[in-house]
Structure 1
């Protein structure tokens, strides 16, 4: 199921073409070559907008790959902030540090080559944004761990929350069941105000109220 009408998606991507940089285009080409899932230009712009809207300076990513989402966060936070990236593959770390270094975005980067939840637990303090894009079976655990680490007035953001429409049912696999359960948990949490933005595969943006 296409979440966004293909004609609308093409139109929106055309508007976002002004964001072209050599590094960004390289990252997108590598993702296409490898069949590696990235959030894409439109959701990247949303991440940057959310970070700018709250003056984010400290961001933790659960699931980073070779740094595509961190590229967009780094555009927003500047040299006085920091972005924590996580991925168990050292090759992704090397590729991310190369891309982000050449992009010259100035935001300090810390890459944790380990499980995302373990890295979050081992990292002290709260964050302006916790972002999740790990294996879908871990989404509920990520929400339970991440929600406590976001400051009041900060965001919990997670990709693939509509899961190509599979959350509408019938639900007959674990990943879809976990995503649906996580959506319902976030929506029901009275300490948060949330919305699922139907860009690409659905992005939830949850604002911590208290």
Structure 2
């Protein structure tokens, strides 16, 4: 399940205006089909980072830097965002886009497996985005959870759609069913996991392909 095109467009219209670089990135997404969170969710990423007064952000999977660019717009001049990506060409593109937006002094670019990379960083990270392999979402959360301060948030993309459809994830999460789709199973396991973690409170942002928002409460 994805949000209707009209509602998605409405949400994007109400969201902060994209600049020329973001507009170019959106054009790239439309032309190539590369999966990004889109402008409606992008506006929420910027908003959430601002609401928690984020100074440091970490991404598990950054692609060509779309979500990082939205995040960077909310960071103070002394802030930091760590982008991770296994595709070197995409990471190079991310570096170029963020430099063009004037965010190169805020960004760290790491090539490799994000779950290995997070171990090389000390916390705290006020905002974390999990958008790597769906089968490793729980692993990513556990790798970073102690580096998130009280009041910080962990976001996870593709909660309602992606390499599966909404009926399948609904069957798993709501009805307690089963599936052979490892990606859907990974997302369902993630939702089950974060809902059982006492230190975090989780809600769903039903825009784009669904974003789980888990706030550390103690």
Which residue is 1:181 aligned to? 189
TM-score normalised by the chain length of structure 2: 0.90
Output the CA distance in 2 between the equivalents of 1:155 and 1:65: 21
Output the CA distance in 2 between the equivalents of 1:132 and 1:70: 12
Which residue is 2:148 aligned to? 150
State whether structure 2 residue 13 is matched by structure 1 residue 14.
Answer: yes
Which of 22, 25, 30 is residue 24 of structure 1 equivalent to? 22
SS at match of 2:86: coil
For structure 2, the residue ranges without an aligned partner over 5 or more in a row are: 172-176
Which residue is 2:169 aligned to? 167
Which residue is 2:92 aligned to? 94
Mapped contact 1:62–1:132 kept (Cα < 8 A): yes
Moved more, 122-131 or 52-61: 122-131
CA RMSD of aligned residues (A): 1.6
Q: Give the ranges of 4+ consecutive aligned residues of structure 1 lying more than 3 Å apart after TM superposition.
A: none
Mapped contact 1:78–1:107 kept (Cα < 8 A): no
Output the CA distance in 1 between the equivalents of 2:153 and 2:18: 26
Deviations 1:1-22 (A, max 9, x none): 3x32333223223334x61321
* Aligned pairs (5 A) from 1:111-150: 111-150=109-148
Deviations 1:178-205 (A, max 9, x none): 1111101111211111101111111011
For structure 1, the residue ranges without an aligned partner over 5 or more in a row are: none
The count of corresponding residues between Structure 1 and Structure 2 is 208
Output the CA distance in 2 between the equivalents of 1:203 and 1:107: 28
Output the CA distance in 2 between the equivalents of 1:199 and 1:108: 27
Which of 190, 196, 214 is residue 206 of structure 1 equivalent to? 214
Kindly state the Cα deviation for residue 106 of structure 1 after the two structures are TM-superposed. Answer: 6.3
Output the CA distance in 1 between the equivalents of 2:84 and 2:9: 31
Output the CA distance in 2 between the equivalents of 1:51 and 1:192: 17
Deviations 1:18-51 (A, max 9, x none): 6132101111112222221000001111111111
TM-score normalised by the chain length of structure 1: 0.93
